[in-house]
Amino acid sequence: MSTQTFTLPDVGEGLTEAEIVSWKVKVGDTVAINDVLCEIETAKSLVELPSPYAGTVTALLVPEGQTVEVGTPIISVGSGADDAALAPAAPAAAPQEAAQPAAAAQDDFKPVHGTLVADTEQGAGPLADTEQGAGPLVGSGPKADAVKRRARKAPAGVAPAVPAASTPAPAARSQAAPSQAPAAVVVPSAASSDDERHGLGGALSGLVNRVLAKPPVRKIARDLGIDLALVTPTGARGEVTREDLVSYQAQREAEVAQSGSFWGASAKSQERRIERIPVKGVRKATAKAMVDSAFQAPHVSIFVDIDASRTMEFVQRLKKSRDFEGIKVSPLLILAKAVIWAAARNPSVNSEWVSTPEGDEIHVKHYMNLGIAAATPRGLLVPNIKDAQDLSLKELAIALNELATTARSGKTKPADMQGGTLTVTNVGALGIDTGTPIINPGEVAIVAFGTIKQKPWVVSGEVIPRWITTLGGSFDHRVVDGDLSARFMADVAAIMEEPALLLD
């Protein structure tokens, strides 16, 4: 069987790394070209990777939850009809053993504790991440470039460990007594006292350097912020099971409930819990972009209060219109249209500051890729509506709905977040009056849309209740002077106060 290795591709412009979120296949599965292999999280979005090969999956080279660089091998697919390499063959001299259920033989070699060479050489499932972040182990069967290790002597009374670079031949395995369990693959460790304290003690202490657990269990523990060393294992081979995690988490939640607050253990307790959240994917990219923008572009912010009562009336009329039947309409639609209209009257807000070897330039863009900041479970995303200036009010409403739905489901494509020219962030959806937003990198302006609520407002000398909102705008002062930013915000405000101006 010939084997093809698929490396992590660059699915977006400038992608350098991605996290393997979940595998959609397992070792032994048959895949066709374009079948989905896995989901990866890049710095911009969640992406499904299709298979470029047809054949049988022979190895998953990267575990779920691990971040790897572009070009790293992540899966091997074998082509051809020789599937015998995926399972040990039964010897002719032992017919009674050949009649044993295949599932029992496979169960002897399925991984229970993450990345072990003996497991991976049999093509037994995803590799688990190592605590030191070691590279993935390739394979189905011994390789010429496999790591070679000398056999170590085990303490008296302990079964010798299987060498990491070799696996017993199929015939040798099947000649073992049916009741005999396979020798565990173990790694020496100096922390024997820690092993004993966590219940792994006895003969295995001093040989095992971490808690045994299957890759899915390790992923759940990472997601919940649970240290596996603190969980009492109940598995048949001393491994932590999913049920152990459930029990431990329930106990931890009960302790928090008894404390009466989020803060967990009481002040009298010696235990202090710290939740550690790795910075990666969207959060990592957002953090870098915001720092770069905040310290590279000199920000200036201005604010304006608006009587949006006529906008609210206009939205209600659109909701009742047959042309907008089945389309979600909100004040954000009117603001988006107002921003497009105002940018046409003040073109420099729709531009970019560019530094070149010949000198700095301002690139004014005669198109509007309107970015809409979206808070999602994965972090802040800013997809944009391409050529928004060409859309009718109805088409813009449909585009906004599709953008929001796609972002919430985590299916926003990297291309949808590239090339933005001006951004709107709707902080009013969370009940916030306004804010000082940070400009999206590659742009020079962003508008924060605050909540719309009834307030006392003076109209023709009388104080009456009106629907009031506050807009906040941040601008790159290298490009947008105070006068220009004020005129732009005044134009946006004019549309919000009188949407009929859009008909001009």
Q: What is the pLDDT of residues 319-360, one digit of tens each?
A: 999 999 999 999 999 999 999 999 999 999 999 999 888 888
DSSP assignment, residue 451? -
Q: What is the dihedral of CA 36, 39, 40, 43, to 10 degrees?
A: 110
* Residue boundaries of the structural domains of the chain: 1-139, 282-503
Q: Is the CB of residue 440 less than 8 Å from the CB of residue 374?
A: no
Tokens representing residue 491 in the block: 């134009």
Q: What is the pLDDT of residues 64-97, one digit of tens each?
A: 888 888 889 999 998 765 444 444 444 444 444 4
DSSP assignment, residue 110? S
Which fold, 1-139?
A: OB fold (Dihydrolipoamide Acetyltransferase, E2P) (2.40.50)
3-state percent helix, strand, coil for the chain, nearest multiple of 5? 30, 20, 45
Which amino acid is it at 51?
Answer: S
At residue 131, the pLDDT reads 40
Residue 163 has pLDDT above 80, yes or no: no
Q: Where are the alpha helices (DSSP H) in 346-433?
A: 393-408
Q: Is the CB of residue 373 less than 8 Å from the CB of residue 426?
A: yes
At residue 110, the pLDDT reads 39
CA distance 313 to 467: 10
Judge if pTM exceeds 0.75. Answer: no
Is 113 an active-site residue? Answer: no
Q: Where are the alpha helices (DSSP H) in 297-437?
A: 309-320, 331-345, 393-408
CA distance 62 to 115: 10
Residue 99 has pLDDT above 60, yes or no: no
Q: Which residue out of 113, 363, 366, 477 is catalytically annotated?
A: 477
DSSP assignment, residue 205? T
At residue 42, the pLDDT reads 76
CA distances from 499 to 308, 336, 392, 503, 504 (A): 9, 12, 14, 8, 10
The domain over range 282-503 is classified in CATH as 3.30.559.10:
yes
Which amino acid is it at 4?
Answer: Q
CA distance 55 to 1: 10
Phi, psi dihedrals of residue 459, rounded to the nearest 5°: -125, 120
Q: What is the pLDDT of residues 304-323, one digit of tens each?
A: 999 999 999 999 999 999 99
At residue 43, the pLDDT reads 67
Q: What is the pLDDT of residues 236-291, one digit of tens each?
A: 888 899 888 888 888 877 765 655 556 555 555 555 566 677 777 777 777 787 88
Residue 425 has pLDDT above 90, yes or no: yes
